[in-house]
Structure formats: structure tokens, C-alpha cells
Amino acid sequence: MRELAVVIQNENEPVNAIETINSIKKAGFENVFIQWYDDEKWEISQKEQLDLCKKLNLNIIFAHLGYQKINSIWFDGEEGEGLVEQYKNDIRVCAENGIKLVMMHLVSNKNAPMYNEIGLNRFKQITDYARELGVRVAFENTKLKGYLEYILGNITDEHVGLCFDAGHFHVHFDDIFDFDFFKNRIFAVHLHDNDKSDDQHLLPFDGTIDWKYVIKKLKDANYNGPITLELCYRRGYNKMILDDFYKIAYERGIKLAEIMEEV
């Protein structure tokens, strides 16, 4: 059966990341991914989160890099160049901490510049640097179509691939996605649910995603990594205690892993 993993979510309400990590461990998870956003507003720093994961022997399968001002990477100018250096630094720090896979967005929001060679060349700089450090890069399907195909169609290195987000697939892509195009290139997944009204980050089976269909498509595309949940403790979930939320999350992860075995 597939291993399970879950995000260390910094938007859980009203708990902090330390409480989240401890509940994740108590629920039985052995693998996590960390949000590496350089967000100074966070109560618990990235370094503190990383240190606690190591102390609890939680394996960090990848780091989700930030996406603030990511649209500027497609424009000529200093801000886009600065982003390249910022991402290189984040990747270096991740490599130094034994994190060998990072996840990135290509755009933010629905109003983004059209993909172009300026952005392509910058992403090539980032992925080339990551390859030198032995780090793979997975780009996420976010809200707009075409960007992933453009980038992965032009950057064909084996260390560059896709992070498939099931929630985005459902609410933003209307369940339409060219899995064949990305076959053998899905490095990671974000599995969470919604009712198509918003990107809600619900527990699997609490929304309207056809999980048997999604899991079969991932399996057919030769995804061989963990069942990785990207959940958020809010929107009514915090009426239950945090420990119970992650216990249920673990059970839902097992259910997805069982579907993976069956399809």
C-alpha cells in the first residue's frame, strides 16, 4: 500500500504549526511536506517547523515554495530577476536540509501574463540550478491552462515534472486534464476535496471529486509516490479537536491508498 503524507498547514485556524505537527505525528503520519514561503508573518518560522519534524522523525518528502509576485517572472525587469535568485536560495537551503524535491507555481490568480520566453528562460535557470544540487522541481496545476504544457514541453529534463493538485483539477479545470501528456512526469500530488464552489481544501470524500476516477488516472500516468493530502483545519472542521481532524485525515488517506490498489 502507498505511503501517506500530509501538509504542515500554516493556515489552520486557530492553531499554530507546532500544534499541527504534533497532531500529525500522533495521527500516525510518517511523511509530510513543508510550506517554504518565507512568510515573516508566520508565528512559527520555517526553521522551527523543520527542526520539530526532524525531532519527531517526520520525513519531509518535498517543500512547497512560495508564489508571492510569481507573475512578475514572466515580465522583463528586476523583480523577475530577483525572484530567480530567491528561488535558487530556497532550493539551496532545501538541499542543505536533505529535501530533494520542491514544488512551484507558474502563475498566481486568474489574471496572469501570457507565457513567454522570458519566463521560460528564468524557469530554466531555476531548474538547471536545482539539477546541479540534486533537487527535482515539480510545477503545480493552479488556475490557468497552458502554462504547464508550455514549460514542461520546453523543459524536458528528467528532474522536472508535475505536482498534480486534485482540488484545482476539480474547481478550476472542471475535471479536464491531459494526463497522457504528463505520463511518467508526475512527481507529487496534492489530494484534497471541494464542492466546485471554491478551492476549499476539504478532507477527501467531503466534496464532489470522483476519487476512483482521479486515482485511476494517476495510476495510469505511472504516479508512484505517496498519497499526499493538502488539507486545512478550518471551515467548520475546527469544531472538532485538532487530533481528531488528523486521525480522520489518516483514515481518508488509507481509503485513497486502498482505491489505488483496486483500480
CA–CA dist 188, 6 (Å, integer):
12
Query: What is the mean pLDDT of the segment spanning 202-217?
Result: 98
Nearest in space to 157 (alpha carbons), one of 178, 184, 180: 184
On the question of pLDDT at 210 being above 80, the answer is: yes
Average pLDDT over residues 55-83: 96
Please give the distance of CA 242 from its chain centroid, rounded to a whole number.
22
Is residue 191 helix, strand or coil? strand
**Do the beta carbons of residue 2 and residue 226 sit within 8 Å?**
yes
Look at 116 and 1; give whichever has higher pLDDT.
Answer: 116
Q: What is the DSSP letter of 240?
A: S
Query: Would you say residue 9 has pLDDT above 80?
Result: yes
Decide: residue 91, CB within 10 A, 0-12 exposed, 13-18 middle, 19+ buried.
buried
Contacting residues for 112 by C-beta, under 8 A, at least 6 apart? 71, 74, 144, 147
Q: What is the pTM of this model?
A: 0.96
The CA distance from 238 to 245, in Å, is: 8
Q: What is the pLDDT of residue 95?
A: 97
Q: What pLDDT score was predicted for residue 40?
A: 64
Residue 104 backbone zone (phi > 0: left; psi -120 to 50: alpha; other: beta): beta
Cell representation of residue 36: 517554504
Mean of the per-residue pLDDT values of the chain: 96
Q: What is the pLDDT of residue 250?
A: 98
pLDDT of residue 4: 98
Distance CA 8, CA 15 (A): 12
pLDDT score for 38: 67
pLDDT of residue 65: 97
Mean predicted confidence (pLDDT) in 75-95: 96
> What's the CATH architecture for 4-262?
Alpha-Beta Barrel (3.20)
pLDDT score at 75: 96
Q: What is the pLDDT of residues 229-262, one digit of tens each?
A: 999 999 899 999 999 999 999 999 999 999 999 9
C-alpha cell at 221: 500516468
| pLDDT score at 155 | 98
DSSP code of 146? S
- Of the candidates 155, 175, 156, the residue with the CA atom closest to the CA atom of residue 165: 175
Per-residue pLDDT band for 83 (boundaries 50, 70, 90) equals: very high
- Write the pLDDT tens digit of every residue in 16-47: 999 999 999 999 999 999 999 866 678 899 99
Average of pLDDT values for 208-220? Answer: 98
Share of the chain above pLDDT 70, in %: 99
